[in-house]
Chain A
Amino acid sequence: MIAAHVLPAWALARRELSSYFRQPAGWIIIALFLLLTGVVFAFAVLVPARPASMRAFFDASGWLLLPVAPAISMRLLAEEFRTGTVEGLMTAPISTPALVLGKFCGSVLFLTAMLAPTLVYPITLMAVSDPAPDVGPIVAGYLCLLLLGVLYLSLGLLASSATANATLAFIVTLFLILALLLVGTLGRQVDGVLRDAIFAMSLPPRLSDFAKGVIATNHIAWFLTLSALACGVAMMFVQWRRWR
């Protein structure tokens, strides 16, 4: 099992990660993300005589990752389909799940590398606060960022697996994420079971819980199961191409 799936997936993940850093686009994505998050941190969190809390930063995380995650994921499979290099992958002794998960893990590792420099923010906050801010909500906030990134990337992977056009994959991913961010607004217009179902798909309340320092198992399950669903459907798309 390990030899058949995990090792090939891991090799693919490493290759994918290094490919991000071999191109200028990867570095530019990181720089732009840090610019965006820097603005939010500097002007919403670093406010003298206010509570030293990164809550505003984490509350905005859903929007901060919105332009970045589709950019990371749009080329995962779409580019391979467009250039034809996917044929080599399809004929290689690597299973479809290993292929998809390898690509996915590579993008997640890149996301993690992109989030790492943001640790400067809580360190800065600790340096300028008295007493030092509570670490618990910060840890919860970063867990949220990670889970959010995983979800966004899985949606991007799904879009990328369905088309050979990277731009189209980017747009589809963007709209899928926007739907999760804005569905709550629609929910307020309806009543009953439909309202509950719509709110169950809404992202902001879950971000808010993490941001204030509450880790809820149902939120973690929501992120992971939706990511798994997206990855599963992506596998089906890839398998279809393989089979075709």
Chain B
Amino acid sequence: MNAAAPRASVKRARTLNFFALAGVTAISLAASTAMLNLLADRYAARVDVTATGEQQLAPRTTQLLSQLAGSTQLIVAADFRTIDPRARQYVTDVTDELAARSREFSTTLIDTGSARGVSDFKGTIASLVQRDRTILDAHAAAIDAGAQAATSVSRSLTEGIEPQFAQLAQAGFATPTLRTYANQAGAVLRLRASDLADASIRVKQDLTPDDLGLPRLDEAQRTLLERLDQAASDLSALARDVRRLSQDAATPAQATRQLTALATQLDTARDATLTQLGKLRELRRPDLLRVAAALRTGAAALLVGPAGGDGASSLVALDMGQLLPSAAWLDATEASRGDQRRRVEELVAAALASVLAPKKPIVVFTHAELRAFMDEAPVIDAMRERLGLRGVDFVEWPVVTQDAPAIAEVDPTLARPLVYVVISPDSAARSETGALSGTQRAAKLAQTITNLREKGSNLLMCLLPSMLPSFGEKDPVAVALEGFGVQARTGTPLLSRVATPQFTYVENERVVQTTDAGEHVIASAVRGLPTYLTWCVPLEAATDSRGWAASPVLTTPADAQTWGESQWLRVYQTPREQVPLIPDQPKFDEGRDLRGSGVWTLALAAEKDGQRAVVVGSNSWITDKYSEQMGTVEGRQTLLFPGNVELFEASVLWLAGQDTMIAQSPAARSVAMVRAIESPSLARLRWSIVLGLPGLVLLVAVIYGMTRK
């Protein structure tokens, strides 16, 4: 019995020893595993074994990643039920590779089709708002101050100035003219006061955060700017009229004193209004507001860069339609062997470049119309919005009636690159009374173009045909463009013969889809994208290049049905739907018309000693009417002519010297595709694989079993 006790205790001790050793071993093994994996992650090497290196990031992307100085996050929010799995896979392929290359880069995918996703989306926006709280609050405070000033001006009009006009109208010494004028002036003042008070109320509502936590600061600012601008204009006119009336000999002496005092008060009110206008115009738009419209749609792709020096984050919105295209688009891209993965990488890289580039360009929209119209008429609103997402601002310059715009209002540092987008005037336009004709405005614009070239400015020229060459004269705009080494045949725009069962007529509008215009970065950006152009002016490098190197960007094949027509004016002046009814349609005339060989060049990029110019032989392509035509594909709204948008964006960025921000289009590459197999053959092949291989294995098993016996 005594021997059994020591044996049991020895066994117990040995058991404990064993388990202790086993425990230590297990912990050591686990710790070693963890350590090895940490080291492997830290010093990981990734080898792309694809033949084309398609999973490798482009050198430009790798360079941009290396420049990231802080945490940069790509947030993609969409209802994944509507997203093609291939599109999502391309995005995750690229973002996985980016995250593997840079610890600063991360991605968040939010499915807004799920309840949690919606909550995550709102949470993301809330965190962005919080991040930019300082600048948003400052912006809101400035707008609020503007609203209060508007209220103050409104009060001064209704309580101070308008009663004096009413008094004047009822005064015994008032002449009928004076009485009528005083009543009218009072009505105008009441209207403006009401507008300003109304604006203040609307601004207060807009400053209240919406369900996403975003105040509608843009709308508030726009409302105030409109109303204050109108009020300033009316007050200025009133002050001028009142002063003139006070100096009129027919005005009674008692009225003269009152009118003089009223003029001074009107001036004071106008000055107060203008002061507020100036302050509001100087406000720098926070990045979060640029992307607010995209956020409110519930589907957005944002690149959030590190916070800037002023506490605000750098935000760029990516085009969802291009980042996550529809199944139809992917089918077409794959069929044409386009590299959609590379396209996604380009989009993200362009956004990275945008975040890293502190100096966003300013577009100076330059034209020869009689007055500014950019803010009044929605002609290029969509283009402004798209480029606005990247931080690009627009100013307008009607060269005929105004001097060059004060860029300092938009960019106090004057460090941002300027890009002049110049629109040809309609040379066939008749002159209104007292105004310049189309030809005169063209001459003025041509002078502006020459001045810009001599200053070393960069410009995007959008051409219209000119009727002057038809009369043996030179188009001044075309002459000015020769200074850039570009020859524009503005006298012979392209027309194409179209034959239908009812009519044979000429067509000026065309959809261009260039695939082989060359390797210029803009050509690469628009490659394969449908681009809608009207009244195309053929372009070529001038015989005397003057040192300019010109590269084609957009081309179209020169077929037998298309020629440069010199007698185009009649077609131009006929409404489009009536063109087929024109008797005696224009025909090609060997003596005066232009026949192309090979291709027609419709857009050129020229460069000399760092100065750049892009010339597009069409005018209306940048307008919303053509660039924003939408179609519904698989329940999603898609741009029908994305080439218009891409051409404009790429041109502006190239002209601003920000080539790295230009995303390239899917280049054609050799993609292995499964051949089209007839259904019966396909079914046979599939079932022979599914059942044939296992059957073969079982047969071998039976044979093996039998041979063993």
**Chain A residues with a Cβ under 8 A of chain B:** 21-22, 24, 27-28, 30-32, 34-35, 38-39, 41-43, 46-53, 117, 120-121, 124-125, 128-137, 139-140, 200, 205, 208-209, 212-218, 221-222, 225-226, 228-229, 232-233, 236, 239-240, 243
Contacts and interface: CB of A to CB of B under 8 A. Distances in A.
A222 B40 contact: yes
Contacts of B52: 134
Contacts of B46: 209, 214-217
A229 B334 contact: no
A213 B674 contact: no
Contacts of B670: 131
Given A214-B48, A218-B44, A117 B693 contact: yes
Interface string B683-709: 001110111011111101100110010
Nearest to A42: B686
- Most chain B CB neighbours (cut-off 10 Å) among A39, A129, A136, A239: A136
B49 interface: yes
The dominant DSSP class at the A interface is helix
Contacts of A213: 48-50, 54-55
Contacts of B43: 217
A225 B674 contact: no
Given A34-B697, A117-B693, A117-B697, A128 B672 contact: no
7 contacts: A21-B704, A28-B701, A42-B686, A42-B687, A129-B674, A217-B40, A232-B26
A39 B32 CA distance: 40
A137 B50 contact: yes
Given A34-B694, A243-B18, 15 more contacts: A24-B701, A24-B705, A27-B697, A30-B697, A31-B697, A41-B689, A46-B686, A49-B335, A52-B672, A133-B672, A208-B92, A217-B43, A218-B40, A221-B40, A222-B40
Contact of A27 (B26, B96, B675, B698): B698
Given A137-B50, A222-B37, A208 B677 contact: no
A49 B673 contact: yes
Contact of A225 (B33, B693, B694): B33
B248 interface: no
Contacts of A233: 26, 29
Given A139-B49, A214-B46, A120 B672 contact: no
B705 to A, nearest CB: 8
Given A51-B671, A134-B51, A217-B44, A229 B37 contact: no
Given A34-B697, A216-B100, A48 B676 contact: yes
B44 A38 contact: no
A124 B43 CA distance: 38
Nearest to A59: B89
A135 B96 CA distance: 22
Given A24-B701, A120-B693, A221-B36, A50 B334 contact: yes
Nearest to A228: B33
Interface of B: 18, 22, 25-26, 29-30, 32-33, 36-37, 40-41, 43-52, 54-55, 92-93, 96-97, 100, 331, 334-335, 670-677, 682, 685-687, 689-691, 693-698, 700-701, 704-705, 708
Contact of A135 (B26, B36, B51): B51
Contacts of B48: 136, 213-214
Nearest to B36: A225
A224 B144 CA distance: 63
A92 B673 CA distance: 57
Given A46-B685, A49-B673, A209-B96, A229 B30 contact: yes
- Most chain B CB neighbours (cut-off 10 Å) among A209, A214, A216: A214
B26 A236 contact: yes
A132 B26 CA distance: 48
Contact of B689 (A27, A120, A200, A239): A120
Contacts of B41: 200, 218
A51 B30 CA distance: 42
A140 B49 contact: yes
Contacts of A236: 22, 25-26
B682 to A, nearest CB: 7
B672 A130 contact: yes
Nearest to A130: B675
A48 B679 CA distance: 10
Contacts of B704: 21, 27
B51 A35 contact: no
Given A128-B674, A240-B22, A214 B55 contact: yes
Nearest to B19: A240
A153 to B, nearest CB: 17
Contacts of B45: 216-217
Given A130-B672, A133-B672, A218-B41, A48 B677 contact: yes
A50 B458 CA distance: 44
Contacts of B93: 212
A41 to B, nearest CB: 6
Contact of B673 (A24, A28, A130, A216): A130
A42 B29 contact: no
Contacts of B691: 35, 38
A107 to B, nearest CB: 18
A49 B697 contact: no
A113 to B, nearest CB: 10
Contacts of A200: 37, 41
A46 B29 CA distance: 44
A212 to B, nearest CB: 6
A112 B30 CA distance: 28
Contacts of A226: 33
A131 B673 CA distance: 7
A104 B26 CA distance: 19
B18 A240 contact: yes
A229 B33 contact: yes
Nearest first, the 10 A-B pairs at minimum CB distance are: A27-B701, A136-B49, A221-B40, A218-B44, A42-B686, A52-B672, A31-B694, A213-B50, A38-B690, A218-B40
A155 to B, nearest CB: 13
B342 to A, nearest CB: 14
Nearest to B682: A48
A199 B285 CA distance: 39
A136 B51 contact: yes
B701 to A, nearest CB: 3
A225 B18 CA distance: 24
A124 B689 contact: yes
A240 B17 CA distance: 12
A91 to B, nearest CB: 19
B188 to A, nearest CB: 60
B29 A50 contact: no
- Most chain A CB neighbours (cut-off 10 Å) among B32, B96, B689: B689
Contacts of B55: 212-214
A200 B25 CA distance: 23
A38 B675 contact: no
Contact of A42 (B671, B672, B689): B689
A38 B693 contact: yes
Contacts of A21: 704
B693 A136 contact: no
Contacts of A243: 18
A42 B683 CA distance: 9
A218 B686 contact: no
A7 B30 CA distance: 28
A165 B301 CA distance: 53
